[in-house]
Amino acid sequence: MLRSLTAGIVLAFAGSRANVARTILSCAGIVVGVGALIMVVTAGELGQRYATAFGEANAGRAATMEVTVFDKITDLDAFEEDLGRAGGLEVSLHNRTESPPPLRQGDQVFGDVDIIGVDVALGDIRRVNLTQGRWFTEADLDSRAPVLVVNEALAEELGDFTDVQLGHGHWSNVRIVGVTQSSVYEQGWHSAYLLNAPVTGEILFGPSWSPEKPTASQVTYVARIDPTDSAAEEMDFGEEFTDRLASASWRWGIDSRDSLMAYRADNSEMTDELIGYLSIGLIGVAVITLTTGLLGVLNVGLVTVRERRRELATYRALGASRFTLFVAVVMEAVVVAVVAGLIALALSWLLVAVAAVVIGNLMWLPPDINMTVPPSAALVGLGSAAVVGLLAGIIPAIRALRASVVAGLRE
């Protein structure tokens, strides 16, 4: 059997080389179908990775809960501890100041800066895309000057980061340690993350704040919980997470459950579901195109068997087994389909490379998203090409075996 299989493969390659025009004709439909399938898988994977990165940067990693307290908290430390007890793996302040202090550099004052107070842990809860510098570290908590990470729009206005001050009644020198990519929601708006530290308590929580009695009103925190936690299943209203917090709210001075609001901020599950539906639709289109290519190869295969009846009969007369001829006809279709798959893969790779250059000039992509044809797309494309060739070669091979040897030699 192995000898017959080898002989059949050799005959298949010989037949493909002897009929170049027919081979090229058979390739056309497969190239389009396999190319479409490769591009669908590539676009689906890149789209999912980009959507995930976009969501993690603007809303948080899965599953991020946002909690707002509409009342005065008398003990922020106790509140943060209870966020952890309620299921928060990482917890961070994410609070916009009620009256943002202006920034000043020399004689120029920036009074429209959106100041957001955060903790170091926000870098673990959200994807922070830095264009230069670094994110906050624990060492920054001991800084005697407020520590900022500003967005690109504000960094461009400032130019250099020397002689930058922040304040209301009095000005304090600040340290700018990093620059983040401007969010799509900001559209040129100036914003900055301000590290929650002892030196910034009054700026973030108002003039009534003091280290001894850190009273704060209407604060917002974000907490990343385990995606398998039952509280993560509530996408709109975090009733379960709110109940967990409300059970111990007396520890931080809140008596009414109505003063708490929690909801899941990220949309990772909805994004994955949307991309899944889109991918199914595109794969359906690719399968239809690939089926058209299969029919083309099948039709060419039937015509080829009819034209090569004398040749195939001669092989039979010279001692070739029925299995050898079956393998030869089937493998010829497989060879044609795989060659078409390789051509489709090369064209897809070229198209994606060109698209990467164009998109790279139009928009900023996260450093971990490389626009290239993934191995999974290449395997799916070449595998589907081989399957199409196999299916398209079976019927012509069966017809070739049923043909009369004597009638074939008479032609």
Give the least confident one: 36-50, 241-255, 281-295: 281-295
Kindly report, residue by residue over 345-382, the tens digit of the pLDDT: 999 899 988 888 887 777 666 666 778 888 888 888 88
Mean pLDDT of 320-330: 70
What is the pTM (predicted TM-score) of this model?
0.69
Mean pLDDT of 149-162: 88
Q: Degrees (nearest 5) of the Cα angle 99, 119, 135?
A: 105
Mean pLDDT of 265-287: 71
**Separation of alpha carbons 85 and 92, rounded Å:** 14
Q: What is the pLDDT, as a whole number, of residue 387? A: 82
Mean pLDDT of 289-313: 64
- Is 122's pLDDT higher than 90? yes
Cβ 93 vs Cβ 255: under 8 Å: no
- Is 197's pLDDT higher than 70? yes
Using alpha carbons, select from 108, 92, 109, 91 the residue that is nearest to residue 100: 109
**Separation of alpha carbons 375 and 389, rounded Å:** 21
Give the least confident one: 77-81, 103-107, 190-194, 235-239: 235-239
Kindly report, residue by residue over 264-273, the tens digit of the pLDDT: 887 766 666 6
Kindly report, residue by residue over 62-71, the tens digit of the pLDDT: 889 999 998 8
Kindly report, residue by residue over 226-257, the tens digit of the pLDDT: 988 888 887 667 788 988 998 888 888 888 88
Cβ 88 vs Cβ 225: under 8 Å: yes
- Cα 329 to chain centroid distance, Å, stands at 43
Question: Which helix (DSSP H) or strand (DSSP E) does residue 86 occupy?
Answer: none
Q: What is the pLDDT, as a whole number, of residue 264? A: 86
Residue for token pair 């190869």: 297
Q: What is the pLDDT, as a whole number, of residue 406? A: 45
Count of CA atoms in the C-beta half-sphere (13 A) of 279? 17
- Is 92's pLDDT higher than 80? yes
Position 408 confidence tier, pLDDT thresholds 50, 70, 90: very low
Q: What is the pLDDT, as a whole number, of residue 194? A: 94
Contacts of 154 (CB under 8 A, 6+ apart): 103, 110, 113, 190, 191, 192
Q: Degrees (nearest 5) of the Cα angle 357, 362, 366?
A: 80
**Separation of alpha carbons 377 and 219, rounded Å:** 46
Cβ 393 vs Cβ 330: under 8 Å: yes
Q: What is the pLDDT, as a whole number, of residue 390? A: 80
